[in-house]
């Protein structure tokens, strides 16, 4: 049960970030006005996903040590770098991918000890 909650908190966080980035990206468009409805939809669903993730995390913090939960948050770095490239067509250079991987491993090491 707790692993499902941890994964749910992680996935809702990643999805929320992607939705927000997509929504904020629309505001740069020359036709931003015509995207208003789409922008609001993306922003609200992004905020909803982040809110779910927030309360799931708060509930997990009441149950477990931060040092147990934090390694899973570390995974969000590499997950977001990859999913942003895949879903948002961002250019993921090898250098950024390696950097994201190093940060992920670093976060896991920091929180394990």
What does the binding site for another protein look like in residue numbers (CB under 8 A)? Answer: 5, 17-18, 20-21, 24-25, 27-28, 50, 54-63, 66, 70, 74, 76-77, 80-81, 84-85, 88, 90-93, 95-96, 98-113
Give whichever of 31 and 91 is closer to another protein, judged by the CB atom. 91
To another protein, the closest distance from the beta carbon of 94 in angstroms equals 10
Q: Which of 65, 76, 80, 82 is nearest to 107 (CA)?
A: 76
To another protein, the closest distance from the beta carbon of 3 in angstroms equals 13
To another protein, the closest distance from the beta carbon of 113 in angstroms equals 4
Q: Report CA-CA distances (Å) from 61 to 17, 33, 34, 47, 100.
A: 21, 41, 42, 21, 25
Buried b (16+ CB within 10 A) or exposed e, 41-71: ebbebbeebbebbeebbeebeeeeeeeebeb
Rounded CA separation 104/77 (Å): 6
To another protein, the closest distance from the beta carbon of 67 in angstroms equals 10
Give whichever of 37 and 98 is closer to another protein, judged by the CB atom. 98
Give whichever of 2 and 34 is closer to another protein, judged by the CB atom. 2
Tell me how far the alpha carbon of residue 26 is from its chain's centroid: 19
Give whichever of 34 and 110 is closer to another protein, judged by the CB atom. 110
């Amino acid at each position: 049960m707790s692993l499902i909650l941890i994964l749910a908190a992680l996935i809702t966080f990643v999805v929320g970030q992607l939705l927000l980035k997509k929504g904020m990206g629309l505001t740069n468009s020359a036709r931003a006005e015509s995207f208003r409805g789409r922008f609001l939809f993306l922003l609200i669903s992004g905020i909803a996903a982040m809110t779910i993730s927030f309360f799931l995390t708060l509930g997990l913090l009441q149950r477990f040590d931060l040092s147990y939960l934090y390694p899973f948050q570390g995974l969000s770095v590499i997950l977001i770098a990859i999913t942003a490239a895949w879903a948002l067509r961002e250019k993921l250079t090898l250098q950024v991918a390696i950097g994201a991987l190093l940060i992920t491993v670093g976060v896991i090491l920091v929180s394990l000890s």
